[in-house]
Amino acid sequence: MSNATIIDEKVLNECLNEITRALLQADVQFKLVRDMTTNIKKIVNLDDLAAGHNKRRIIQQAVFNELCKILDPGKPSFTPKKGKPSIVMFVGLQGSGKTTTCTKYAYYHQKKGWKPALVCADTFRAGAFDQLKQNATKAKIPFYGSYTESDPMKIAVDGVETFKKENCDLIIVDTSGRHKQEAALFEEMRQVAEATKPDLVIFVMDSSIGQAAFDQAQAFKQSVAVGAVIVTKMDGHAKGGGALSAVAATKSPIIFIGTGEHMDEFDVFDVKPFVSRLLGMGDWSGFMDKIHEVVPMDQQPELLQKLSEGHFTLRIMYEQFQNILKMGPIGQVFSMLPGFSAELMPKGQLDTSNPKLMTDSRIMRIARGSGHQVHEVMDMMEEYKRLAKMWSKMKGLKIPKKGEMSAL
């Protein structure tokens, strides 16, 4: 769309097809994508738009808003209150990150002044109790479980009673997971829910489960009253499009995302950056924050100017490497930028047919002169070409000023 001079029906359709492909690749369910594009065609009436209106902007905004809408089904069915005992039950498939997320959730609230406690009602997986115990001990959170009792309902009820007496205000019950949806898991989960009467049931979903997300989430919702969703492993390769399906299937919002294995790698869910990344539009505000954080004030305008010009020289690389590398792994930083999605930058994506920037003899001279190995100079050139290619995509992009960032 950015290459087209006139935005007509054809361009809009091409644009929507491209977005459809991107979303399907990000594991968004086909039906959701189809409904969204139908809605957009209704919203964006090209004939009605007066000349001079920024049609691109309107289409872009419509896509963005529709995705945000899918991800915003309202508030969770219950929000725990400090000082009042609440029971929160976690459900999900084995390996989804359920046990880890229970501790992260407890730890997050503990830091905010709550008095959380963990109950391990997972009697199916050997080692589940040990894992919870280890995590809980590390975070100094009280826990309850048993090595001998095999009835998850009994453990759950005993645990909840114990912590109610101890005036814990957030009692978290971890339930069994299985390899796939199966009747026994759902029946057990239903019974634990019936016995403990949780105020909130949280469905934990691995961001990489892909197109299976809808059926999986729906199956859980049909057995227990799921009221919120947590998406884990957002630090991985998956864009997490399955999360839209989970929201649609459970009619519950995502409340947190897991971004790593550690206890504090856990963030409150924020819909706008999530959608930006899903579309490969980048998280401008995150990127600008990083720039403001690590690039010295006096260099900031210059760097942004260079980014928008799209020129990238070895000298810029040298000057900016110091700053940019401080921003974290280069891929992570670039993935925040509009137009860069992770797959744009796989290793070795280098276009070898690029005009040779340096002859062999020049590379050898540079290596000798700088006291480096020839392969080191060649590695640097490879890195340069890779970055230059990414950088060139910035050309012509309007870098938002601070006030404009909230527009997207």
Least distance in angstroms from the C-beta of 383 to ligand GDP: 26
Question: CA-CA distance, 270 to 254, in Å (whole number)?
Answer: 9
Residue/partner pairs of 342-347 with CB below 8 Å, 24 or more apart: 342/237, 342/239, 344/280, 344/390, 344/393, 345/386, 345/390
Q: Which C-beta is closer to ligand GDP: that of 92 or that of 273? A: 92
Give DSSP secondary structure letters for 32-73: HHHHHHHHHHHH--TTTSPTTS-HHHHHHHHHHHHHHHHT--
Cβ proximity to ligand GDP: between 73 and 95 the closer is 95
Q: Which is nearer to ligand GDP, 63 or 132 (CB)?
A: 132
In the complex, minimum distance from the CB of residue 234 to ligand GDP, in angstroms, rounded to a whole number: 6
User: How near is the Cβ of 240 to ligand GDP at its closest, in Å?
Assistant: 11
Closest approach of ligand GDP to the CB of residue 94, in Å: 4
In terms of CB distance, is 217 or 307 closer to ligand GDP? 217
| Chain center to CA of 204 | 14
Q: How far is the CB of 230 from ligand GDP (least distance, A)?
A: 9
Task: Give the residue with the Cβ less far from ligand GDP, 60 or 232.
Answer: 232
Give the Å distances, CA to CA, from 171 to 109, 117, 268.
11, 5, 20
In whole angstroms, the minimum distance from the beta carbon of 131 to ligand GDP comes to 6
What separation in angstroms does the CA of 318 have from each of 205, 211, 367, 384? 42, 43, 16, 10
Of 232 and 245, the one with the shorter C-beta distance to ligand GDP is 232
Measure the CA–CA gap between 314 and 383, rounded to whole angstroms: 10
| CA atoms lying within 13 Å on the CB side of residue 107 | 21
Nearer to ligand GDP, 145 or 177 (CB): 177
Tell me if residue 10 falls in helix, strand or coil: helix
Q: How far apart are CA 4 and CA 244, in angstroms?
A: 30
The residue nearest ligand GDP at its CB is 258
d(Cα 318, Cα 338) in Å, to the nearest integer?
A: 23
Q: Would you say 229 and 252 are in contact if contact means Cβ atoms under 8 Å apart?
A: yes
Residue the block writes with tokens 């004030």: 297
CB of 284 to ligand GDP, least distance (A): 24
Q: In the block, which residue shows the tokens 């069994």?
A: 176
Which residues partner with 206 through β-bridges?
A: 232
Among residues 184 and 357, whose Cβ is nearest to ligand GDP? 184
- Supply the minimum distance, in Å, between the C-beta of residue 128 and ligand GDP: 7
List interacting residues with ligand GDP (CB under 6 A): 92, 94-100, 177, 232-233, 235-236, 258-261
Which CB atom, from 73 or from 260, has the smaller least distance to ligand GDP? 260
Integer Cα distance of 327 and 330 in angstroms: 7
Q: Give min distance, CB of 325 to ligand GDP, in A.
A: 23
